[in-house]
Amino acid sequence: MVDEATQVSAFGAAAVHALCITGLTAADCFSGRGALVSDPAHALRLLVVFEAPLVIAVFSLLRRDPKRCSFLKAAARGLLGLPVGALLNAFGAIVLGAPVGIKYWTATTYWSLLMSLFTFVPAACVFGASKVNWQNVLSHSNYCRPTNAVDYMISAPAHGAVIGAWLGAWPMPLDWERTWQEWPICVTYGSVAGYLIGMAISLLLIVVTRKRRDRAKAD
Amino acid sequence: MAAAASPPTGAAVAGWTMVSVLLQVVGLCMFLYGFFPVKPTLPGFSGVESYRMPSCGSAGGGEEPALPPDQLRSLYRELSEVPPVYDRLVLMVIDGLPAEFVLGRDGKPPSKEMLESMPYTQSLLTGCKAAGYHAKAAPPTVTMPRLKAMVSGAIGGFLDVAFNFNTQAFLDDNLLDQLHMIGYKLVMLGDETWIKLFPTLFCRQDGVSSFYVKDTVEVDFNVSRHLEHELAAKDWNVLVLHYLGLDHVGHIGGRQSVLMPQKLKEMDDVIRRVHNAVSNLQDNLDKTLLVVVSDHGMTEGGNHGGSSCEETDSLALFIGHSVESSYCSPYDQNEALQVDLAPTLSLLFGTPIPKNNIGVLLPELFNSLTDDQKLRTFELNSLQFLRLLQAQLPAFCIEDCIDSKNGLGIDIFPGSVEKKLCHLLSEAFDSHHSSRLHQRSNFKSIEAGYYGNAVNAYNEFLRYASEWLSHRATNKPFYLLVSAISLMIISCLFLMGIVYCLFKGKSLSQVEHHSEWNLDKHWHLDEVFIIMGIFLYVISLGSSSFVEEEQYTWHYLTSTLYLIFLIKTTQSVLKESNSAAVGTERNVFYANNCSYVTSCKLIPSKRDGYKLCTVLFILISGRIIRAWHQGGVNWVHFSDISKSLAQADSSIVKALQLISVLAVVLLYSVSLLLLRPRKMNILIVWLSHLFCGILVVLHIWQSQINTSLPAEHSTTSIAQIFFVITSISVTFTFVASPWIFPIHSMEAESTSSGSNPKTAIHLQGINHSMFLTGITYAAFWCLLQLLLQQPINAIPLLLIFLQMISSIIHFSTDTSLHKKWVQIVAMQFLGLSGHFGLGNTNSLASIDVAGAFIGISSYSTVLSGILMFIITYGSPLLLYLGMVVYSSIISSDGISTTEQLKWSCILDKMITLPCLLPLLVNSIALTSYTIVLLFMRNHLFVWSVFSPKYLYVCAATVCTYAGVFVLAVTAVYIVIVLSFRMRNYRDKSI
Ligand SMILES: [Zn+2]
Ligand SMILES: [Zn+2]
């Protein structure tokens, strides 16, 4: 297969994740403390603006077939993937009960763009239109068998973000009357937390598989 | 079949299931008995003995001869040592009026609009001529139990009130009967609930029905039109006026309804008229008390039934000479209990306090009496409590109390309730005694001091005893509850064990028979999710907010499950298009599993399209259903589709109803066409369904015309004809379906694709019959729901029906995509989220009582109870009926070898899982919720949130039993008949 071409070391993966986290923290610092609660649309917009170039650039460098596909082409795929992924995420959120009123539109849009950056865009940059790879990323079975490090770096944070967002929605119907229970604040918190946990898991998995592979080679 | 490692036989599974269901029923009954005790009430009426100190040991007093009313009245007057403060009573009940509208809240006067709406009442309040109380009503805040509480001073047990939709004559001791006994003449105008409670009491009465909630004018006009005549007449002593209009205004438009100020003005006008009439009779020595009360409040949205402070905030306003004073602050938050009305009025009118009363007299009403007389009223109230306490605590005895006090000294920290009560009571009697001794002392201040002490001591005792007595109903035998729960847990474990054995056996046999299925051994995302989702649901039951907002939980879980299905489907489509080789291999496999819902000759791409579209449709319609009714308790005021439709033109709702009826009829016709009917019988069933559809349309049409008219014979008879035709055609289909399909046909041979002709023949007969029966059940059920449900629910109902059909199509296009048990649980989840989509909540207030009378000409508790159950559980039952259709699809799955082709084996394949899994899921919910309820038994919300939900859980259990029963009986009957026909056929051919 092609995986030898884009093999990433654990250190490289850590650097990539650190870059993504930097984007998030920078946006958070820029928007100010508690901005997500007071003005979610604004804070989410900043998050998207800071995160989008970083994610697209980093994952375009990691593209699957660097020989046939230029960096720019991969970045263009990422840019194209951004609205597509946002549409899919927005569909999921609305089907699961996100409010559809006009006053929620901007927040929903930015939230789904952010989710797209967490989930869809990295895969779009790296894989393009390769069906086999997409299918691997969708399924959870790639955790069980040894795979490419990039696969882990894409799928673990993406799954983490989705699961985090899903769990983050649970407090919404409670009658605590807190502002952060509003859509999409707690869901965003959940997804970011899940994203970070997913990154940690992906690093762990990369290290573990690397060790296992080394041991296998030594044998 | 290999016996040892094989799955348990069908008979064993059925037996064990029966055992666990029985255990569950026994456990449930024990728990209900223990948790909702029927509160013991003292029989009979209070008489002269109530003025004496009760003796120890015997709780009941001796029977005294019945005296004529006049003698009885003077006897009571003599014994009580307190002259009656009033002679005439006007009890004006304004249904659903929150006290906030009149008295404001938290010490603040009501809003300006409210003040201006009731000018006369407000002038009475600010002029210190009236005393107003926030009289806290006990849940459930429904009219009839509240009226009972007002007149008897007792709060019934939870089940007693919750189930008492039937208004029967009230037999307990109560104020009105007491007044009647001393010769008072009673007149009643207004809500006919009073007439049902007291059928023989009133000398004149004019009842109005609260049946037509939409009518806000006529109900009150029918009361007020008698007012002039009755106020002029001097023959009555008690006049009860019950105005329903304000409650109806609330139900239609909520607290902020535009009709509300107008209605309040009308009520204010009635108060003015009554007050003027009774105070103009100055020449008369009769003193009249005007009491304005409400039976309960209302929520922002105008509903009631729960226990939020908006609903329990009912009004008690007293207008009479004894409350007049020179100084007052009318908008202070004066708290009282609704039950306090009974002892207060009894003492004011000189009758014995009703036996089961737990209310405490309101001392402000007795201002015209001397101090000594006031203390005597307290004493009488305490004596009545003492009798009630003796009945509840057999060891309780006042003489022992006094003895122990005089003997060893006072227990300063009394441990038990008895001791505390004893202490408080003896304290009160003592201070009363010393107050009496110092009565003739020369120093006014000393006298006042003793009087104040005595009042405080009495108040302390009365409030404490009242609280304890009202909590008495919640006293539960702990060991009974624990043993009930352990029975339920055992039953739940049994069910789990059966399912586990089945899966273990199945996986073993699959290893033997289909080596290709070994790949599927690891857990899939949807399977993990279902188990985790049920776990999350069980945890969420522990929080009262999640119980109140359960509709979110179910919609969230169901939608997530179908989103996972969507992902899996996408994945499988991707996989298939990736490897064409696998695809062709699989096509052969699919050809065996064809069903009628989808034609056998689907090309793969079209099948993929079906697979994706059905899931997408289920997801989107699920979201629409979610948006239809906001539901719940906390966010119920949020806008939703049903509210905007209610504000829109009513013709839109009618049009939606018609569309739904049309769609159901059409879908049924299409599904019958898929069976390629050449039989007269199917045509008959189809025609009867069409006719029923027309009847429903007629009913919709008629009820549109007749919304204002009370007489509705035509709609009743239409509904009755519908019931008859539906039951006949469903029974006919059930009986006839296994007989009408050929057991040996040309089609069967052509589709059997060579493997084993006999297999296909048997299965096709069974499948066709199951399909026909199931789809007939479901289609008629839908029509029945369209007839009974509120008009607004027509579209959600149609969507649930479509979701059910889409699920079946989705599952049948690719039987191997999701495991069978996942499919069954998914259908059950759909039913549960649909339950909330039809506007149901976990509060008793959302039960559609009006629908329960459709087609019933005379009142029958059983019939309307059944109809209410059908309306409330329309969606889960529809999905259980859908499982009959579904089992016609799964039965062909996995039967390929001839040795498996026994009748018992087919039956096993067809219904074991569809019966067991709903039972298991329900059992988990029931058992865990029962445990939650046991832990929450002292929670603040136990009677308002957790107990109503428990009634729903119990009803859901009954619903599951009913669904599973229908499925099992249908399948067993069809299989037995077909096996009988097969044997006959074989015998003939040999
Ligand atoms: Zn009422
Ligand atoms: Zn009402």
Spatial CA neighbour of B115 closest among B253, B231, B261, B297: B261
- The reported pLDDT for the residue numbered B600 is 44
Asked if B627 reaches chain A (Cβ–Cβ under 8 Å), the answer is: yes
Residue A146 lies in a domain: yes
Enumerate domains of chain B plus CATH numbers. 87-368 (3.40.720.10), 523-901 (no CATH)
Residue of B nearest to A101 (CA): B639
C-alpha to C-alpha distance for B823 and B829, rounded to whole angstroms = 10
The token duo for B431 is 């201070």
* Structural domain includes residue A96: yes
- What ipTM goes with this model? 0.93
Looking at chain B, the number of H-run helices and the number of E-run strands are 37, 8
Percent of chain B with pLDDT over 90: 33
Classify A121 as helix, strand or coil.
Answer: helix
In a domain, A219, yes or no: no
Mark yes or no for CB contact B626/A97 under 8 Å.
Answer: yes
Token pair for residue B538? Answer: 């069980």
d(CA A74, CA B816): 37
The mean pLDDT value for B478-506 works out to 90
Q: For residue B89, list its beta bridge partners.
A: B238, B289
The closest of A84, A107, A19 to A57, measured between CA atoms, is A19
pLDDT of residue B474: 54
Contact A175 B634 (CB under 8 A): yes
| Rounded Cα distance, B826 and B529, in Å | 11
- Three-state DSSP class for residue B131: strand
Q: Can you give the three-state secondary structure of B543-611, one letter per residue?
A: CHHHHHCHHHHHHHHHHHHHHHHHHHHHHHHHHHHHCHHHHHHHHHHHHHCCCCCCCCCCCHHHHHHHH
Q: Quick one: closest CA in A to B622, which residue? A: A95
Out of B525, B556, B622, closest to residue A140 by CB: B525
Output the CA torsion B902→B904→B905→B906 (10° steps). 90
Higher pLDDT: B785 or B170? It is: B785
**Chain A positions in Cβ-Cβ contact with residue B627 (cut-off 8 Å):** 100
Three-class secondary structure of residue B236 per DSSP = coil
Q: How far is the CA of B295 from the centre of ligand 1 (A)?
A: 5
Average pLDDT rounded to a whole number, residues B862-868: 86
* Residue A1 placed within a domain: no
Q: pLDDT tens digit string along A112-164? A: 999 999 988 888 888 877 777 777 776 666 666 656 778 888 888 899 999 99
Beta bridge partners of B188: B205, B240
Q: Which of A64-68, B15-19, B98-102, B270-274 has the least mean pLDDT?
A: A64-68
Q: So what's the pLDDT on residue A123?
A: 87
For A35-63, the pLDDT digits (tens) are 788 888 888 888 898 888 888 888 888 88
* Domain interval for residue A31: 7-214
Least confident of A79-93, B268-282, B598-612: B598-612
Average pLDDT over residues B935-941: 75
Q: Is the pLDDT of residue B827 over 90?
A: yes
Domain-embedded: residue A45? yes
Q: Where are the alpha helices (DSSP H) in B675-793?
A: 680-705, 713-740, 746-751, 757-788
Structure token pair of residue A155:
């799928």
CB contact under 8 A, B634 and A92: no
**Does a structural domain hold residue A2?**
no
**Type and span of the H or E element at A135:** helix A131-138
Q: How far apart are CA B469 and CA B476, in angstroms?
A: 14
Q: Does the predicted TM-score (pTM) go above 0.80?
A: no
Q: Which of B192, B197, B191 has the alpha carbon at shortest distance from B172?
A: B197
A169:B556 CB<8 A: yes
Asked if B622 lies within 8 A of A166 by C-beta distance, the reply is no
Asked if B525 reaches chain A (Cβ–Cβ under 8 Å), the answer is yes
Q: Tell me the per-residue pLDDT of B103-132, one tens digit each, with 9 for 90 and over.
A: 988 888 888 888 899 999 999 999 888 999
Chain A residues whose C-beta is within 8 A of a chain B C-beta are: 92, 94-97, 100, 131-132, 134-135, 138-141, 144, 166, 169-170, 172-176
- Which stretches within B174-258 are classed as H helix? 175-181, 193-197, 218-224, 227-232, 245-253
Distance from CA of B560 to the nearest CA of A (A): 7
Q: Give how far Cα B429 sits from Cα of B340, B353, B375, B515, Å.
A: 21, 19, 10, 88
Q: How far is CA B875 from CA A95, B694, B815, in A?
A: 20, 22, 25
DSSP-assigned beta bridge partners for residue A29? none
Q: Does the pLDDT of residue B594 top 60, yes or no?
A: no
Count up the domains in chain A and report the number.
1
pLDDT at B406: 53
Q: Which residue has the higher pLDDT, A142 or B504?
A: B504
Q: What are the structure tokens assigned to B69, written together?
A: 């009313």
